[in-house]
Structure 1
């Protein structure tokens, strides 16, 4: 029922319970099941003692003395120990991977040196010569083998480079990262005019100005190179010469200079520009009205003039 469920649980069902939380001597009434972490000592009886005696007697007969040999720590001075240690305080020029690689190569070379026994080599040579002679005796159409120069290939490469990462048929492009295939855009993500922020616009403006500056610099460089190559026409490409030429053309009437008599100075602010534009529009309207009035006067014929 609900009442029994809501009631306080007995200490047996409360999980981990300490001695303070349960009643006194309550654990004596319970039957508990628990595991021993350590192997239980055998109960000493007459049978067990007889078995132990038999084992000891058998060991004496077999002379199996496998008692632990006591080891003594050698007494050593700290100074002597320090003398034996040779510490290198200089920074290692090799990386950790290269150090491991060298150790691995040394181990491999030692193994190969151990494997190649000179006696085995000599036996192999003798066997080869014997087999050749036997072949020459037994075969009617014997063709001797051509002399092959002894070549020993020593590869000081690490094991990783020796292994094939991918089959030969597979393209190397699959092993490259996306940034290696196509360079990342330095300006960032491509944005439309609406998406661009004020900083993006300023960046673009700076970029354009820089490009313009570089073009002018390149132009000046080309001009100087031309002057250097053609010393006769040294002053031909300068700005002063160009302005002088323009003056001569205007004098002869071949060209005319466009002059704005201080108008651009007055219209530097937007307010001045729009006010002038408004005045111009007003003037145009008034001129149009005057023209219409004159036209009407001409068209209107006076009645008095038509009287007989």
Structure 2
């Protein structure tokens, strides 16, 4: 099919495609999502097909306002307080749903669903004009780095989806925090911009231990079970800046061609002739540009090893390290020989 690019001026045309049961990628402050009418099971199943996504990986329901959530779920007082504080914004909340309100294609067959209201006016208008909430997984091929620009989406999805709403690059660069409020104890299932310290003001206890999802278990949230964010090259995380000279020496002795994904301070020490991608000057820019950097090396098929800078896993660093660890398959320098 032809994939049409839309802008804020043509958002009504993009909404019509959603009403027709087609797929339209949309911008958020975190990454670009892949939208389909969340109440149209046929359309939802197209999302799995377009992404090559496992069918037991639940989808986030993306809304334009809190009242829409009430159509599908039990909005507790705690949930409403957090929604009013952080929405629109990079916080996804898992709630118990009204029985039968959402199809198993959206929930993975679970009695819960994840809801989010993005901080992007064009997307909220798209949802309002479409008349229903939309599912919103990242608009990339399953397992690949998430897209932070419309061009990233087009690279993965050209010919697979009907349209892309382009509203410029994402500001945050990693997916939203996922907070599970469906049980007795609130739990962060995926770290993001809204971190534990920010949530502490409204929640007495927050569980941050990442649950390992078994092979026969359906995950409550995206990113908990399957490999994510991986470029074709093997990523190796260098946890400390002082270790980069040794890591580069190790990579130079490896037969594979390598590149470096790091901040400008680190890149200033990289020998000439090595392919590099700048993550800017600090953790915030590194988080924003991480997925773009991983995609950059995918465009260089000759490079099969990437040394990537690590950060302390605190605050926003927890979100950065969660993504880069999954991209690397947990591989850190020094690498232990098999």
Superposition TM-score tier, normalisation by shorter sequence? under 0.3
Q: Larger % of strand: which?
A: 2
- Structure having the larger proportion of residues in helix: 1
- Structure exhibiting the larger radius of gyration computed from Cα positions: 1
Q: Of the two structures, which has the highest relative contact order with CA contacts closer than 8 Å and spacing of 6 or more?
A: 2
Normalised to the residue count of structure 1, the TM-score between the two structures is: 0.14
